Structure 1
Amino acid sequence: MPLSLMILALSAFAIGTTEFVIMGLLPNVAADLGVSIPGAGWLVTGYALGVAIGAPFMAMATSRLPRKAALVVLMGIFIVGNLLCAVASDYNVLMFARIITALCHGAFFGIGSVAAANLVPANKRASAVALMFTGLTLANVLGVPLGTALGQAAGWRSTFWAVTVIGVVALIGLVRFLPARHDEEKINLRQEFASLGNARLWLSLSMTALFSAAVFGLFTYVAPLLNDVTGVSPRGVTWTLVLIGIGLTLGNIVGGKLADWRLGTTLIGVFVAMAITSTLFAWTSATLIPAEITLFLWATACFTAVPALQINVVAYGKDAPNLVSTLNIGAFNVGNALGAWVGGSVIDHGLGLTRVPLAAAAMAVLALVVTLITFRKDGSTPDLSPVTN
C-alpha cells in the first residue's frame, strides 16, 4: 500500500476526530453552553446535515480541479472550521462552525476514496478504501477518547485546537506526498449527473443512510447511556470509547477483506449483527461488563460495512465515481442526522435512554430490507472492474 494512502488515512483521522469527539463531550458542551443533552445532540445533526447538503455542492465546486488540488482545498476548509469551533462564543456560533467544518467532509471522503482506489490494483480496491477509512476508525480508538479526556481536563475548546493542529499536519502531508496524477480524465458534470438514473444506485445510497442511522441512533447518546444507565464515570466513558474504537478498527479491517470477497453477503450479515447487538444493549446496558462486551461486538459489526458500502455505490455509479462517492458520504451523514434525531426524539418523549438502542436496531432492520432488495438474484450484482476516470 503506497505511503500516500497513509496520508489519506491521517486526513481521515483528523476529520473523523472532529466529527465523533462531540459524542464524548456532549455532557460537557451541554453544561457549558446551557443547553439540554438532546439540544447538544443537534450539534451532531447539524454537522451531518452540513455534510449531506454540502457534499454535492463541494464536489461540483472542485470538479475542475485535479484530485490532489481538490483534497488540499478541502482540508484547508476543515482547518478553518475547527478554528471557528475552538473560539465559538455560544451555541449558535458553535453550530455555525460545525456546519462550516462539515462542508469539506463529504467531498473529501468521496474524492479521497476514489483516489485511494486508483492507487492500487483492481483486486485491492476495497482494501485500499478500508485503509483510508482506518483513519476514521483510529479516530475512534485514539482521537475520540484522547479528545474527550483533553476536553474534560482542559475544556472542550482545547480538543478543537488539537484537531486544528492535526489538520495542518495532514495538509502538509497531502501537499508533500499525494501524487499529482496527470492521466485523470476531465470530469463531465452532465455525464456524471446523467448516471444518477440507476435505481440500484439510489437503493445503495438509501442502504448507506439507514446503516448510518442505525449507528448514530445509538452512538450519539452512548455517553449519557453509560453515565445514567450503566453508572460509568466520565473516565470510564473515555475507556469505553477506546474499546468501541478498537471494535470499529477491527471491523473496518475485516470489512475490507470481506467486501473484496463477497459484497452482498457481507452487507446482509452486518445488518443482522447490528440489529441483534443493538437490541441486546437495551438490556445489557444496566450492567458494566455485559454492556462493554455488547458495545465492542456492536462496534465491530458496524464498521465491517463501511468499505463495502463505499465500493458498492461506486460500482453502481462507475460513470460518475467522484460524484457518487461524495453522495455516499452525504448519505452516511443524512443517516447520522436521522439517527441523532430518532435517538433524541425517544429521549424527549420520555421513553427512556434504554429505548434508544431499540430504535437503532429498527434502523438496522430497515437497512437489511433495502440490502435484500438491492442484491436479489436478478443479475443486479454490481460491476467491480477498476474505476479509471
Structure 2
Amino acid sequence: MSQIAINEPAEIQADAELPSAATVALVQLALACGGFGIGTGEFAIMGLLPNVAETFSVTTPQAGYVISAYALGVVIGAPVIAVLAAKIARRTLLLTLMLVFAAGNILSAVAPTFETFTLLRFVSGLPHGAYFGVAALVAAAMVPVHRRARAVGRVMLGLTVATLLGTPATTLFGQSLDWQVAFLTVGVVGLLTVALIWFHVPKDRVSEEASFSRELGAFRRPQVWLTLGIAAVGYGGMFAMFSYIASTTTKVAMLPETAVPIMLVLFGVGMNAGNFIGSWLADKSLLGTIGGSLIYNIVVLTTFSLTAANPFMLGLSVFLVGCGFAAGPALQTRLMDVAADAQTLAAASNHSAFNIANAIGAWLGGLVIAWGYGFAATGYVGAALSFLGLFVFAASARLERRSTQVA
C-alpha cells in the first residue's frame, strides 16, 4: 500500500501529486461509511426517546439527557484526542476511533440501567469529532484546493445519508422490535468501517513538525474561535427542533407513531439536499454560504413553530430545517483556512462546536417544553439561537475585512 502525505497542511499539499480518481473514491466511501454509522448512532436516539424513557421509567425530557451526554462526549473528546494524537498517523487514528465508537454502541445496547446507558452514550461520543475532523482533512488533502468543500461534503454524505436511511430504519426497527437493536446495528457499521479504512485508506506519514504545541496554536487564532462560535450558537436550533420531533409528530400534529420515521426521512432528504448544495456554494463563497444559512434557519424554524399542528406543514418544515445543513461543509472548510498549520485540532473542534449546539438545543428545547410551552415551541428556540449566531458571524466577517485591508 502506497504512502501519501495526507498528514500535511493543505497549503503543502497544493502542489503535490494527487492520487487517482479511483483511489479517492474508495477513500471517500470508507470515510463516509464511518460518517453513516456516527450519524445513525447520534440521531436514532431522537426518534426513540419515548421508547428509552419507557424502558428506564423516566420522562421523555429526562431521557433527552442521553443526547446531551453524547454531545458532551464529542465536545470533550474532539480537542483532547486531536492534541494527544498529534504524532499519530491519521490512518491509525481513524482505525482506533472507529473501534472505540463500535464498542461504545454495542455496549449501549446491553446497558442495564439509565445511568449506565447515559455513561456509554458519553463514551460513544468521544471519537465523533476527531473522526470527522481527521476524515475531512484526509479527504481534502487528496483533491485540488478548489474542490475541498465538495470532498468534505462527500465525507459528510455518510452523515446525511444516515439521517435519510439509517436513522429512519433503526427507528422503525427500534419501535417494532427493541430500541437496543438500533445501537447494536450502529456498532456493526463501526466494525465495517474499520475494515474499509484498513483496506482503502493509504498509509500516511506524520509531519515532522507535528506536535502538541502546534495543534494548540489553533486556539490562539481569533477566527478559529469565532468560526466555532458560529457553529456552537447558530446551529443549535436544528437540534432543539429535531431532538423532540417524535413527540411533536404524535402530540402536536396528532399523527400515529408510524409517522415518526417518515418525518426522519424528510429531515434526511433535506440534509442531503443541503449538503449537496452547500458544498457547491462553499467552493464559491464560504462566508456567503454560512451567513445565508443562518438567515435561512431563522425563517424555517419560525415557520416550524407556527405550523407544526398541520401534518403537511410539519413535514415541509422538517424537510426545510434539514436543508440548513448546507453550512456544514462550509464551516469545516472555513476552519481549514483559518487554522493554518493546526488543522487537526481546529477540524475536530468543529464537531465539538456542533455538539455544543446539540447539547444547548436539546437542553433549551427541554426547558421550554417543561415550562409548558409545548413541543412546537422548540422552533422558536432554534430561531433565537440562529439570530444570536448572526452576531458571531458578523464579528468574524468584520475581522476578515479588517485583515484584508491591513494586508
TM-score, normalised with respect to structure 2: 0.91
Secondary structure of the structure 1 residue equivalent to 2:235? helix
| Structure 2: distance between partners of 1:381 and 1:332 | 26
| Structure 1: distance between partners of 2:242 and 2:342 | 32
User: How much does 1:218 deviate?
Assistant: 0.9
Residue 200 of structure 1 contacts residue 374 of structure 1 at CA under 8 Å; is this kept in 2?
yes
Whether 1:304 aligns to 2:330 is: no
| Structure 2: distance between partners of 1:353 and 1:195 | 39
Residue from 298, 305, 327 that aligns with 1:275 = 298
Residue 275 of structure 1 contacts residue 361 of structure 1 at CA under 8 Å; is this kept in 2?
yes
Secondary structure of the structure 1 residue equivalent to 2:46? helix
Change (3 A) 1:28 1:192: same
Change (3 A) 1:378 1:316: closer
Q: How does 1:1-389 map to 2 (within 5 A)?
A: 1-182=24-205, 184-300=207-323, 302-376=324-398, 379=401
Change (3 A) 1:380 1:123: farther
Unaligned runs of at least 5 residues, structure 2 = 1-23
Secondary structure of the structure 1 residue equivalent to 2:283? helix
Unaligned runs of at least 5 residues, structure 1 = 383-389
Change (3 A) 1:381 1:39: farther
User: How much does 1:378 deviate?
Assistant: 5.3
Between Structure 1 and Structure 2, how many residues are aligned? 381
| Structure 1: distance between partners of 2:233 and 2:258 | 31
TM-score, normalised with respect to structure 1: 0.95
User: How much does 1:195 deviate?
Assistant: 3.5
| Structure 1: distance between partners of 2:365 and 2:204 | 44
| Structure 1: distance between partners of 2:313 and 2:395 | 34
> Residues 85-110 of structure 1, C-alpha deviation per residue, up to 9 Å, x if partnerless?
01101101100110111111111111
User: How much does 1:59 deviate?
Assistant: 1.5
Matched residue type, 2:137: V
| Structure 2: distance between partners of 1:6 and 1:378 | 35
> Residues 310-354 of structure 1, C-alpha deviation per residue, up to 9 Å, x if partnerless?
111221112200011111111111111111110011011122222
| Structure 2: distance between partners of 1:330 and 1:378 | 23
Secondary structure of the structure 2 residue equivalent to 1:218? helix
Residue 375 of structure 1 contacts residue 381 of structure 1 at CA under 8 Å; is this kept in 2?
no
User: How much does 1:192 deviate?
Assistant: 2.1
Secondary structure of the structure 2 residue equivalent to 1:179? coil
Of all paired residues, the percent bearing the same amino acid is 36
Secondary structure of the structure 2 residue equivalent to 1:2? helix
- Partner residue, 2:13: none
User: How much does 1:54 deviate?
Assistant: 1.6
User: How much does 1:226 deviate?
Assistant: 0.9
